[in-house]
Amino acid sequence: MPESSSNVRSPFYFVANAGAECTACGRLTHVVAVALPEVHELCSNDADSPSDGAWAMDWHSPAIRATLFYVRHLPQAVHRRIAALTSSFRLAESPATGDAYWMNHCEHCGAAQEDHDLHCEPGGAFMPTSAQAAAGIQLLQILEPFSAAAGGYSVDPEFL
């Protein structure tokens, strides 16, 4: 997927590091996610596309923090940065949805760790339900430009 298909961008970003119980083997595994500062921007396509199929791109800043999931595209520079932290985050086809996205995999058994479980379920690695649970998430600030095509966007995640 080309970078021109990105729907989110930021002058810098964070890599969130946490632990999660593997849905296959039950062991604790390291998982990562991208977190964005308040200064990031979102792109929305104009619903009234011209007849030639070109879309008008409307970038705006929601002025809130966010985490991304169901990421379909990451630039090589971002991928290299995350790969230096873990080899368990890679582009793969989801067993649950059949769609390909950048997902975590168990360090022990290699099983896919679905973004729904990590980002959308209360108590998931990136959806803590208390300040104490959030304390287990480490944020590493990356002072480099970021862009991505993301299907999921968690608005102003509580406790992060």
H-state helical runs in the chain: 76-83, 115, 131-134
Return the pLDDT at 156: 85
Return the pLDDT at 1: 43
Residues found in the chain: 160
Verdict on whether the full-model pTM lies above 0.85: yes
Return the pLDDT at 51: 47
pLDDT along the chain (160 residues), means of 10: 76 97 97 97 68 66 95 95 95 92 97 96 93 93 96 84
Query: Burial level of 65, CB count in 10 A (0-12/13-18/19+)?
Result: middle
Return the pLDDT at 56: 60
Residue of 147, 68, 78 lying closest to 115 (CA atoms): 68
Residue of 159, 153, 143 lying closest to 66 (CA atoms): 153
Q: Where are the domains of the chain?
A: 7-43+60-155
Q: Is the separation of the CB atoms in 14 and 141 below 8 Å?
A: yes
Contacts of 29 (CB under 8 A, 6+ apart): 19, 20, 21, 22, 88, 104, 106, 107, 108, 113
Return the pLDDT at 34: 97
Q: Residues 128, 9, 100, 46: is their CA dihedral positive or negative?
A: positive
How many C-beta atoms lie closer than 10 Å to residue 94's C-beta?
A: 15
